[in-house]
Amino acid sequence: MSIGLATTATPQIVVAASGDNALSTLTAMRISPERTAGFRPALFAVWRTQKNSVRSVANVVTIKEAWESGAWSWNAVKRKRFMNDVADTAVLAAVRATSAARRGGTDPARWRPAATQDICTYIDGWVRIKSKWGLAVDIREFTAIKNVLNRQCRTAPAVTSSVPATNKFPTSPTSTIPRTTTSTSGTPVVVGSALALLQLVRVENEFSSGYDRSLFEHWRDVDGDGCDSRDQVLKRDSISLPQVDPISCDVIAGDWISPYDGARWSNPSDIDIDHVVALKEAWDSGAWSWSSAQRRAFANDTSDNRTLLAVTDSVNQSKSDKDPSNWLPPLQSYTCTYIGNWVAVKVRWNLSMDSSEYGRIRNLLQSTCASLDIAPIPNLPSFAGGAIATVTPPASLSPTPTSATATTTNVTSAPAGQITPGSYCSPVGAIGYFTKSGDTSPTAYICSKTNAAGEPYSGGRARWRRA
């Protein structure tokens, strides 16, 4: 199996990965926290007659990962058999020592092959080895593998998901300069370092007045498939085939593992669908200037798995509308994934952060989550109305910002939809349109901090004025 770890003169064994089979196998596996104590390489002996450095399943699932996933309970004979397992040719890999050292003992939540065509083969082999040897997966590993299998390795669109397959998107784990677009056309782009991506976020005080949850029309069928967004997420996140009412599309039963606390549920009444960036947080961070159509699109967004998640209801209630400066998931192994999701949602929807929120996230990305990369960010879902902005990185972007001041982004205006003249708006430079009663054509407006005469508006706030 070629997994992008090495090249070798030895002929490679390449097999076609089956994302559907691997997903079925994954859902049947035991989910358990890793046991990190007591590991020593000497516990896994090598047959003296076997050149195990060339081929072994231990070149895919390392002996350290095996130990932490259950091999700590094995006897010496079984550990030796694992180290020398060369019988299953479908999951063998020839790996250079230098390449293996770069990967280390990490699981697919932290490392995957750089070459897109190798990822599914690698994940397929990983799942098969762990299943064959009765090894567990932790919740972070499970989530990462499930996302890869759903997004990149399915042989057909997922029956239970409204999220389009993303296997056409390239990946680049080593990229440090992120690029993202929030326009409704074009191609999603590769995103690298989360710390570098953070610099695309504006840092400004929150707009804390005027919020009402009813302003965000949620749990609606925005894509016309007959299922509202809550049921779509329940179907997508169930680790087993969910039971769905064929008429109403209500999800009746399934199996869910909450990424926030690792709890497992089978009754959908125990599950809340969490807006990762809460509706009030979105309002305070820029959604106050959106059209109702844009707020509706955000509240029901299933086009990116990071926006909405199925989680334990009580944990979601404890989170409420807090940002990462005040709340992080109780399952610490999910912290970095959560921070990455938060940054991705804020960048994608052009939302700001306040200084404490930005500072806490920056500190985590410089310490605990220093190696965190962000997966590709798709385009925004289509919606009628509201300002659309394209965000691009500055010419020079350092991955380690030194202050809580975000880099100002370049904003390219694009046609939007009906706006309210004189109302507050964001971002500056966006173009909107307003059609007066009785008129047959709209009038263009621009989001500006000054009036037509060049005089600044009070408070330094931007408003819609005629272009």
pLDDT tens digit sequence for 148-160: 888 777 654 333 2
Which pLDDT score, from 0 to 100, does residue 97 have? 52
pLDDT at 57 over 60: yes
Please tell me the distance from the alpha carbon of residue 419 to that of residue 33, in angstroms, as a whole number: 50
pLDDT at 446 over 80: no
Q: How confident is the prediction for the chain on average, in pLDDT? A: 75
Helix/strand/coil for 289? helix
Which pLDDT score, from 0 to 100, does residue 448 have? 81
Which pLDDT score, from 0 to 100, does residue 222 have? 84
Please report which confidence band the pLDDT of residue 412 belongs to, taking 50, 70 and 90 as the band edges. Answer: very low
pTM for this structure?
Answer: 0.51
CB atoms within 10 A of CB 116: 16
CB atoms within 10 A of CB 87: 10
Fill in the DSSP letter of residue 457. Answer: P
Beta strands in 207-282 (DSSP E): 243-244, 251-253, 256-257, 264-265, 271-275
Q: Is 76 exposed, middle or buried (0-12, 13-18, 19+ CB in 10 A)?
A: exposed
Which pLDDT score, from 0 to 100, does residue 98 have? 52
The more confidently predicted of residues 33 and 167 is 33
pLDDT at 9 over 70: no
Q: Which of 13-22, 130-139, 170-179, 415-424 has the lowest mean pLDDT?
A: 170-179
Please report which confidence band the pLDDT of residue 238 belongs to, taking 50, 70 and 90 as the band edges. Answer: very high
- Please give the C-alpha separations between residue 179 and each of 147, 189, 303, 340, in angstroms, as whole numbers: 21, 6, 18, 15
Please report which confidence band the pLDDT of residue 440 belongs to, taking 50, 70 and 90 as the band edges. Answer: low
Please tell me the distance from the alpha carbon of residue 452 to that of residue 445, in angstroms, as a whole number: 11
Would you list the domain boundaries of the chain? 19-152, 194-409, 415-467
Which pLDDT score, from 0 to 100, does residue 91 have? 54
Question: 408 phi and psi, to 5 degrees?
Answer: -70, 130
Closest CA to 139 of 48, 319, 261: 261
For range 205-221, the mean pLDDT: 90
- 332-343 burial: b if 16+ Cβ within 10 Å, else e: ebbbbbbbbbbb
The more confidently predicted of residues 184 and 337 is 337
Please report which confidence band the pLDDT of residue 393 belongs to, taking 50, 70 and 90 as the band edges. Answer: very low
Amino acid letter, 355: S
Which pLDDT score, from 0 to 100, does residue 376 have? 82
Is residue 197 within 8 Å of residue 348, measured between CB atoms?
no
Please report which confidence band the pLDDT of residue 99 belongs to, taking 50, 70 and 90 as the band edges. Answer: low
Percent of residues, the chain, with pLDDT higher than 70 = 70
Those residues whose C-beta lies under 8 Å from the C-beta of residue 312, and which sit 6 or more positions away, are: 258, 260, 261, 263, 265, 270, 271, 272
Please tell me the distance from the alpha carbon of residue 133 to that of residue 127, in angstroms, as a whole number: 10
Question: pLDDT tens-digit profile of 310-340?
Answer: 999 999 999 999 999 999 999 999 999 999 9
Please tell me the distance from the alpha carbon of residue 165 to that of residue 236, in angstroms, as a whole number: 12
The more confidently predicted of residues 250 and 158 is 250
The more confidently predicted of residues 422 and 441 is 422
Percent of residues, the chain, with pLDDT higher than 90 = 33
CB atoms within 10 A of CB 369: 18
Is residue 335 within 8 Å of residue 364, measured between CB atoms?
yes
pLDDT at 344 over 90: yes
